[in-house]
Amino acid sequence: MSHNKETLREIVIETAGVNPRKCMKCGKCSATCPAYDEMEYHPHQFVSMVEAGKIEELMNSKSIWMCLSCFACVERCPRGVEPASFIEAARLALIRQQGKNHLKAEDVPAKLNDKLPGQAIVSAFRKYSK
């Protein structure tokens, strides 16, 4: 099902529960983001993209899967804008569509290795599947 640009943006903002307009473009979230280098869109860009309504590009980007959801950006943002919530909302908007689960339960055992902490698996399921 395709959403037109307006309702998708509203859904993302509503699920994130934060007002993107509060962002004053200081870039502190990107400064603290440990996964900065692997992302083509950086945390401060998520916020301005959500505000501009460019949700499709965000959903098709690699960045939303690179986010470790360590919430450093949420902790450090002086205006309380919570960029991580926007990434999470974008992810949810994507994986909630039909058959878009990023992580299927059956291909987990293949990825397992002993160094992988249990918590990582749990958080992966939280992030990557409905």
27 binds other proteins (CB under 8 A): yes
Tokens found for residue 6: 């307006």
Kindly write out the interface string for residues 52-91 of this chain, putting x where it contacts other proteins by CB under 8 A and - elsewhere. Answer: --------------------x--xx-xxx-----------
37 binds other proteins (CB under 8 A): yes
CB 36 within 8 A of CB 30: yes
Q: Which of 9, 28, 91, 127 binds other proteins (CB under 8 A)?
A: 28
Alpha carbons 13 and 19: distance in angstroms, whole number:
7
Task: Report how far apart, in Å, the C-alpha atoms of 87 and of each of 16, 41, 53, 115 are.
Answer: 8, 11, 13, 27
Q: Which of 11, 31, 66, 92 binds other proteins (CB under 8 A)?
A: 31
25 binds other proteins (CB under 8 A): yes
Stretch that binds other proteins, among 8-16, 18-26, 52-60, 94-102 (CB under 8 A): 18-26
Q: Which of 8, 12, 13, 44 binds other proteins (CB under 8 A)?
A: 44
Handedness of CA 73, 104, 38, 16 (dihedral sign): negative
Q: Which residues bind other proteins (CB under 8 A)?
A: 22, 24-33, 36-37, 42, 44, 72, 75-76, 78-80
